[in-house]
Amino acid sequence: MKLNADLSLRANLNINSLEWENSPSAGVQRLRLEADDDNPPVERVTTVVRFAPQSAFSGHVHDGGEEFLVLQGIFSDQHADYPEGYYVRNPTGTGHAPHSDKGCTILVKLWQMHPDDQKQIAINTHDKNLWNKDKTFGEILHLFEADYESVCMMHWTAGMKFTDLIFEAGVEYFVIDGSFSDDTGNYSNGSWLRLPAGSKQNITVNKNCLILRKTGHLLEPVSYEHISDEPTPNKPMSDESAK
């Protein structure tokens, strides 16, 4: 399916206005924010995934990489337990068998990782020692930085204003808490907003705000069109159930 697949267009959804749909795995549901998976095995998607207690996926490999933030509960795999607030990047070719004993909700992005990005990352964003003061944006936690992409989390205080922002390579937000507005709309808890390359923005913070922000990735988005869809012997299942 295709949903908000044209990266040259503005896109905005709030997960609180969407209906959960069942995934192929029992007890696991999802909300699709963007999807462009008409050409398997490439399945570029951004979703919010909810695990019921004691639910699980079969083991699978992320050929296009995986990036996720734990919004609620504890997400687990054979490598570790990731409580609420953990930001994780699993590079291309890595695999795991996800599950949740007590239930959890995660924001996850698949097939959007640069092939050169081969460092596995797990950051506890609730660790205040990792945060820094920023003259422009208040408090900031840098999560990932490369020539082609920058990911951070920010605390904005009500009343703050950011004017004449220019995003030459695009910007993407997920509002974890609070709300802000720009010239086009209002974005409250659960809002996902993507602005294309070349966008300009003026922001007013309406309510103390915690956001996840990604920039730099929409001017020349990652493409895996060269990958063959021929099955590989003895290879674990693909990302299909995690979409």
Domain positions in the chain are: 2-123, 126-215
Report CA torsion sign: 77, 142, 154, 187: negative
Asked if residue 63 lies in contact with residue 238, where contact means CB atoms within 8 angstroms, the answer is yes
- Whether residue 235 is predicted with pLDDT greater than 50 in this model: the reply is no
The mean per-residue pLDDT over the stretch 192-209 comes to: 98
Annotation: CATH topology of 126-215:
Jelly Rolls (2.60.120)
| CATH architecture assigned to 2-123 | Sandwich (2.60)
The HSE-up count of residue 118 (CA atoms within 13 Å, CB side) is 3
Return the higher-pLDDT residue of 221 and 32. 32
Asked if residue 107 lies in contact with residue 143, where contact means CB atoms within 8 angstroms, the answer is no
pLDDT score, position 186: 98
Return d(Cα 212, Cα 234) in angstroms, integer.
37
What pTM was computed for the model?
Answer: 0.91
pLDDT score, position 82: 96
How many helices (H) does the chain have, and how many strands (E)? 0, 22
Q: Provide the percentage of residues in the chain whose pLDDT is more than 90.
A: 72
- Whether residue 160 is predicted with pLDDT greater than 60 in this model: the reply is yes
pLDDT score, position 96: 79
Least confident of 50-59, 78-87, 151-160: 50-59
Q: Do domains 2-123 and 126-215 have the same CATH topology?
A: yes
Q: What mean pLDDT, rounded, does the chain reach? A: 90
